[in-house]
Amino acid sequence: MSVTKVHARQIFDSRGNPTVEVDLYTDKGRFRAAVPSGASTGVHEAVELRDGDKANYVGKGVSKAVNNVNTVLGPELIKSGLKVTQQKEIDDLLIKIDGTPNKGKLGANAILGVSIACVEAGAAEKGVPVYQHLAELAGVKPPYVMPCPAFNVINGGSHAGNKLAFQEFMLLPTGATSFTEAMKIGTETYHTLKKVISAKYGIDAVNVGDEGGFAPNVSGAEESLELLTEAISKAGYEGKIKIALDVASSEFYKDGKYDLDFKNPNSDPQKWISGTELADLYLSYVKQYPIVSIEDPFDQDDWEAWTHFTKNSSVQIVGDDLTVTNPLRIKTAIEKKACNGLLLKINQIGTISESIQAAQLAQSDGWGVMVSHRSGETENTIIADLVVALGTGQIKTGAPARSERVAKYNALLRIEGEIKDGVYAGDKGLSAGLTAPALLKI
């Protein structure tokens, strides 16, 4: 069954910024996809095409990307006569039409909208759930693996107005026995954390950030880690919850050093630290707290610091800004032994086929793979299907709050209810130093 009509429009993401939505039609009906958008974006990411017209939508309109779907990508896809089940061929066609290495001509946001809509249509054509269709495209056989969620519950960095340099502090219910139980553990601990923060910092400290986490006025990472430890203990889940960090350190890398006071315009350059000193700080936290994963510990081009840290660490070191879901960057990271984990963001690369390829390349070197949302999200839930399809066992899609985040968790609850014989990943999706995730060995 091929595509009969494609129509894109401008809608809004969870931050009130314009984004692209695509409706794709076949004889089976209408299939809809919406595209997310990031705030702390890596310089090596595929291009999100914005209008740049400051008089409208603060320059963030996407009418050019929408127009590219309606006048270029849609008509070419219809003309090709490709079946909606031919995902790889469709994605290759979209890439070829754009013709640039970073999708800069037509926009990764335009291309991804069409790519996701095709996945939805392809699943309907086969009469199977989206996760099953994606698993078949990726060559992954059942039993399906339900992921361990990584709940971003304390925000700093570019996502928050406090002094905290590190961007995300996450709770991972690795000790749960099912995804349903992981949600119970995560939500109960989230509510407990809310009470702990409210008692210490006041009621306005529990306003939520872009991803549903809290942004209390903490002085630094240790204070945040202490809050998490207290909440885990008070909720009664010691030993069942591990901690993950997303440092997003490219945001505070200056002149070859790291400025942990980067939000202060009068920050003292004498106090900026080297990559090695920052690595030692992380290692001290890993000793003291149940930290199992650290994302973007160093700047996206500070390869030396990454390699040094990965060699000396026993946890999962995740590349996000470093690798930007791009097979070429992942290959370099594999060669340099720069990390042992991939953050998979579909809009960093711009098609579903390339996202699958990126995950499999990372797994071929024994990495963990964490499927991820963006800070500007929509109600689209394709990443829930993708993480189950790939069987990587890890997903981060915000705190258990705000509907655009919870939509993904609810989709996963439905999938778990449907698959019956699925297994819950727990900590088996995590790599640890030189040890590959247990899931890869099954």
Percent of residues, the chain, with pLDDT higher than 70? 98
Residue 117 near residue 84, CB atoms below 8 Å: no
Adjacent-strand bridge partners of 23: 7, 32
Instruction: Write out the two tokens for 39.
Output: 């705030």
Show the tokens assigned to 317: 């070191």
The residue annotated as part of the active site, out of 21, 45, 168, 211, is 211
Q: Point out the catalytic residue in the list 345, 396, 408, 428.
A: 345
pLDDT at 187: 98
The percent of residues above 90 in pLDDT, for the chain, comes to: 95
The number of CA neighbours under 13 Å toward the Cβ of 241 is 32
Residue 92 · residue 356 · CB < 8 Å: no
Between CA 81 and CA 2 the distance in angstroms is 6
Q: Does residue 442 surpass a pLDDT of 60?
A: no
Helix and strand numbers (H, E) in the chain are: 15, 15
H/E stretch holding 152:
strand 148-155
Nearest to 426 by CA among 179, 235, 141, 233: 179
CA end-to-end span of the chain: 36
pLDDT at 420: 83
Tens-digit pLDDT profile for residues 71-127: 999 999 999 999 999 999 999 999 999 999 999 999 999 999 999 999 999 999 999
Is residue 44 pLDDT above 90, yes or no?
no
Report strand pairing: 18-26 vs 29-34.
antiparallel
Average pLDDT over residues 42-58: 92
Q: How far is the C-alpha of 374 from the C-alpha of 132, rounded, in Å?
A: 24
Query: Is omega for the bond preceding 143 within 30 degrees of 0, making it cis?
Result: yes
Q: How confident is the model at residue 158 (pLDDT cuts 50, 70, 90)?
A: confident
Tokens at 401, concatenated: 């709050």
Establish whether 345 is a catalytic residue: yes
Tokens of 35: 């595209």
In which residue are the tokens 């314009």 written?
18
DSSP symbol at 54: T
pLDDT at 242 over 60: yes
pTM value is 0.97
Band (pLDDT 50/70/90 cuts) for residue 42 is: low
Q: Under a CB-based contact definition with an 8 Å cutoff, are residues 348 and 45 in contact?
A: yes
What average pLDDT score do residues 330-352 get?
97
Longest CA span, the chain: 65
Rounded to an integer, what distance in angstroms lies between the CA atom of residue 268 and that of residue 397? Answer: 35
Contact 296, 247 (CB under 8 A): yes
Residue 159 pLDDT greater than 80, yes or no: no
Of 400, 393, 353, give the one whose Cα is nearest residue 370: 393
Contact 169, 223 (CB under 8 A): no
Q: What is the pLDDT of residues 285-325, one digit of tens each?
A: 999 999 999 999 999 999 999 999 999 999 999 999 999 99
pLDDT computed for residue 421 by the predictor: 87
